[in-house]
Amino acid sequence: MQRSELKGTQRLAFDGLNNQPVTGWRWPPPGGLQSRMNSILQTTVDKVTVLDNATTTVRRNPNLSPSGRVQAVAPHRAAAIQATADALASVGKERQRIADARAKLFAPPTLDAGDAANAQLDGEIRARVAGLSQNELDGLHAAMGAGKQDRVQTALARDPFDNAEATFARALLAKRVEQKNPDQIAALNVAEEDADWAGSAIEGLKVVLARSDGFGIEGIAQRAA
């Protein structure tokens, strides 16, 4: 396997595999060289590289029959395929972790279990807002946008149904969360970008395996059979 870097891209050429498949990705990783996503990717690259090297060695061995060559590389191919599957599963878990963290961060304040008084007040506020005229709604929106009427905003954001007022209140809440937690938001954004980067790179390795599967050594054996 040949690895090269040029203009922010890392390129891998698996010259031992049939069709000499090439893949590549942005470099360095969004999360840095020490990120967990890069570690997962490099572990997968290592497994594919073992297959690449084994294929080169087997191809040069004149003492192996076609079926013997297939048997020699089969465990390495199986390991590489399993590695890509495991890596994509890990990326999927990371994406879910990020999604859960975002949902928790941006969720409206919850009611305590059994808090009937505030639950009733929420309903009364939403009912009253529903009866406001457009001019009154405009005034309420302006007040909430200025950081006032927090209790009204919370009641609207907690509405279990999607509607215009709930959407408006949730958008204001999200804006305030972003203003109060810039570092946490930035960390989630980088983590998400890193997971997307790793997922795309690992999918590229799947293509490498697919492009070399059923040809070369394996294909010779299949035709011989």
Q: What is the pLDDT along the chain (225 residues), one digit of tens a residue?
A: 999 999 899 999 999 888 888 999 999 999 999 999 999 999 999 999 999 999 999 988 889 888 888 889 999 999 999 999 999 999 999 999 999 999 999 999 999 989 999 999 999 999 999 999 999 999 999 999 999 999 999 999 999 999 999 999 999 999 999 999 999 999 999 999 999 999 999 999 999 998 886 545 544 444 443
In this prediction, residue 216 carries a pLDDT of 52
In this prediction, residue 64 carries a pLDDT of 87
In this prediction, residue 213 carries a pLDDT of 67
C-alpha 175/C-alpha 169 separation (Å) is 10
149 conformational bin, left if phi > 0, alpha if psi -120 to 50, beta if neither: left
Q: What is the distance of C-alpha 45 from the center of its chain?
A: 18
C-alpha 25/C-alpha 203 separation (Å) is 11
| Side-chain half-sphere exposure of 176, counting CA atoms within 13 A | 17
pTM: 0.85
In this prediction, residue 109 carries a pLDDT of 92
Residue whose C-alpha is closest to residue 143's, from 122, 169, 177: 169
In this prediction, residue 70 carries a pLDDT of 86
Query: Distances in Å between the alpha carbon of 84 and those of 75, 77, 201, 217?
Result: 14, 11, 10, 21
92 conformational bin, left if phi > 0, alpha if psi -120 to 50, beta if neither: alpha
Q: What is the distance of C-alpha 7 from the center of its chain?
A: 24
